[in-house]
Chain A
């Protein structure tokens, strides 16, 4: 089944403890992206990647890192999480960066992160 898989689904951690949220897609998509969803703010892009070893900042990159060593994987790293990073995170992928009905964003199931 074609899908974007994120892990974990739920994560509670403490300030400053490094964590990684994994994202993997099995559709051979070139484009991958991370979003955070907060009430009243919609989906805001954190980082995106147009292909292997090509990553760039989105609108809210501060406090996050990503890597794209393989086409299928795009982990999100929080080196020193803070409470303002408590949010619902979505990984997404598409065939190519220019979206269309033939290249829509496919979202993962989300990761709810709580930083205390």
Chain B
């Protein structure tokens, strides 16, 4: 079955710097890759996603890139702010499956 690996498990950056979180997936049939943000004590919420027919997608300070050949995708946050501090989860889904497989999460700390 599908497996999603996420790195790093923790990431500490200075406010204003960029942060990059990487995920790899095992099943080449996966074609939908969302990213969820979970603030402390709160529920995960979708922040951005990408489908396999697109290589990059941007939304203000966040972007996601996808390399289908290498089977990995990344979340990029530019000009980080303290409110970006949270746990971020990547996930992958195949159209033939009704399972959304999550990575293990990255705890991002943005130091003021």
Contact = CB atoms under 8 A, between A and B. Distances in A.
A100 B32 contact: yes
Contacts of B36: 105
Interface string B78-90: 0000000000010
A43 B43 contact: no
Contacts of A50: 98
Given A43-B89, A99-B32, A104 B46 contact: yes
A42 B43 contact: no
Contacts of B99: 45, 48, 58-59
Interface residue tally of chain B, by bracket? 20 to 34
Given A45-B99, A101-B49, A40 B43 contact: no
A81 interface: no
A45 B95 CA distance: 17
A44 B102 contact: yes
Contacts of A31: 98
A110 interface: yes
A99 B104 contact: no
Interface of B: 1, 6, 9, 32, 34, 36, 42-46, 49, 51, 89, 93, 95, 98-105
